[in-house]
């Protein structure tokens, strides 16, 4: 899959998370737990730790800021989505369906 297709997939996954945050505020706690666990696992990776700190700051703010970060179509949004803390928020089946659809759209283009 091309980088463009990967970016489209991560944006679509982020859209689904953003749409669900108002009814699933517990996803913020999940994201915070992921950031803590990943920080411990990647303690020797300064670039990842910097990204995790950014996400922790975003997660400490209002939901609107979280949604804005998730949906930012520019390079900053793409960079942040590469390490989205919302792993585990969406059901695996939904994630697979999104990935399959984005892959198929990319192949058809």
Number of domains in the chain: 1
Radius of gyration of the chain (CA): 14
Q: Is residue 88 within 8 Å of residue 57, measured between CB atoms?
A: no
For the stretch 51-81, pLDDT in tens is 999 999 999 999 999 999 999 999 999 999 9
Residue 23 has pLDDT above 70, yes or no: yes
Residue 45 tokens read as 């990776």
Average pLDDT over all residues of the chain: 93
Q: Is residue 101 within 8 Å of residue 108, measured between CB atoms?
A: no
Rounded to two decimals, what is the model's pTM?
0.90
Hey, CA dihedral for 44, 37, 71, 82, is it positive or negative?
A: positive
Residue 1 has pLDDT above 80, yes or no: no
- Which domain does 94 fall in, by range? 3-108
């Amino acid at each position: 899959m091309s980088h463009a297709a990967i970016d489209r997939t991560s944006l679509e996954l982020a859209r689904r998370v953003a749409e669900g945050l108002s009814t699933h505020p517990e996803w913020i706690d999940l994201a915070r737990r992921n950031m803590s666990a990943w920080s411990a696992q990647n303690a020797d990776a300064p670039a990842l730790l910097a990204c995790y700190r950014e996400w922790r700051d975003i997660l400490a703010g209002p939901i609107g800021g979280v949604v804005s970060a998730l949906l930012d179509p520019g390079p900053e949004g793409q960079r942040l989505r590469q390490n989205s803390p919302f792993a585990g928020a969406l059901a695996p089946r939904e994630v697979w369906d999104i990935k399959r659809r984005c892959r198929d759209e990319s192949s058809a283009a």
